[in-house]
Amino acid sequence: MTPSHFFEPPYPVVRLSPKAEARAIRHGFPWVYAGELVMDRRTSNLLPGALAVLEDAERRPMGVVTVNPQSKIVARMLDADPGAVIDEGWIASRLSRALAHREALFDQPFYRLVHAEADGLPGVIVDRMGDLAVVQPNAAWSEAMIGPLVEALMRVTGVSRVVKNGSGRARGLEGLPEEIVMARGAAPEGPVPVPMNGAIYLADVLGGQKTGLFYDQRPNHAFGARLARGGRMLDVFSHVGGFGLAGLAHGAEHATCVDASAAALALARGGAEAMGMGERLSTRQGDAFDAMEQLAAEGARFDVVVCDPPAFAPSKNALDAGLRAYERVAKLAAPLVREGGYLGLCSCSHAADLSKFRAASARGIGRAGRRGQIVWTGYAGPDHPTLPHLAESGYLKTLFFRL
């Protein structure tokens, strides 16, 4: 249990080492890596998530940070004002600013409300689904302050139910345990319906991947759906039917969803049935690579094929293997596209930048004996803002080729 005085000022002082790039932090870079902070006994003994005033090597205050001596990201900038008090009111002000942007974008309350550092709440993800919000406290400070964070969220947005999704790789890197619970309100009786791009998606907020739904692909779903009008669409690594259901909503004759998760495919089917289009959706459960090989052997061809795999290159160490996997996806998917049809390829790996991902995709298409022109380069939607100083916040890339 975090002591009640844990976040009360005055905050202790931590100091950058002389070799740290203080200028980058002053200009907006939000992280201090292990090795860039003077780790004296007092700093080393700070509890994960503790607040401190960061000074540069010349002892000039730079702002308030949260410190986790157990993490490779040893400090995260919270506020450039060294006198800032980080409490429920401070969190509410950040949430209000984030909410104003989303309300300018969307007519209905279904969106990513907080995109971590880019919204000034480091390590915090909040997806909103009507009167329910899913919070991912992926940094130690937000885990320690989950109570004030949830209270501020309910007060600012008016949501009545909040899920705390404490799972995923990011929490492991912070030394945090896994836990998915209702933080406030009653658990939903079943999947939560989410309208997006004219389709209805079903989100399993307590047992699905991440927050139960991926809002980031919204503009790319819309583009792929436009191409699929009147045609046949194949949605590989479909999860709950992101591209396939959008295609059906925009007039696709038929959509086939492929995923390893039977539960995700059941949600995709439920979404299609909720739209009154269940008879126009087919599902294949199993390994996506195997499924594409089987479809090719069957002579299947589609007007639009989209592959949206998990992050094959979640870190720099996995980059080479990840790029080979993206190339293989493209090689297996390209033969399934009819002449003049479209192939959509996606990467959510921040370690694979756009140029590397584009090259791997083009190699795979070429190895399949096909040629194509790029007709769309898409990113995450505007409810997933990117911090210009932090490449990791701009992780999603989507390419559509006409073959």
What is the rounded distance in angstroms from the CA atom of residue 277 to the CA atom of residue 249?
A: 9
What is the rounded distance in angstroms from the CA atom of residue 206 to the CA atom of residue 190?
A: 9
Q: Are 16 and 36 in contact (CB under 8 A)?
A: yes
257 belongs to the catalytic site: no
What is the rounded distance in angstroms from the CA atom of residue 16 to the CA atom of residue 374?
A: 45
Enumerate the β-bridge partners of residue 345. 307, 399
Q: Are 159 and 186 in contact (CB under 8 A)?
A: no
C-alpha gyration radius of the chain:
22
User: Backbone phi, then psi, for 185, in 5-degree steps?
Assistant: 85, 175
What is the rounded distance in angstroms from the CA atom of residue 241 to the CA atom of residue 281?
A: 10
Q: DSSP letter at 392?
A: G
Give per-residue burial for 367-387: e unless 16+ CB within 10 Å, then b: ebebebeeebebbbbbbbbbb
As given in the structure block, the two tokens for residue 242 are 């992101």
Check 257, 307, 346, 348 and give the catalytic one: 348
What positions carry a catalytic annotation?
A: 348
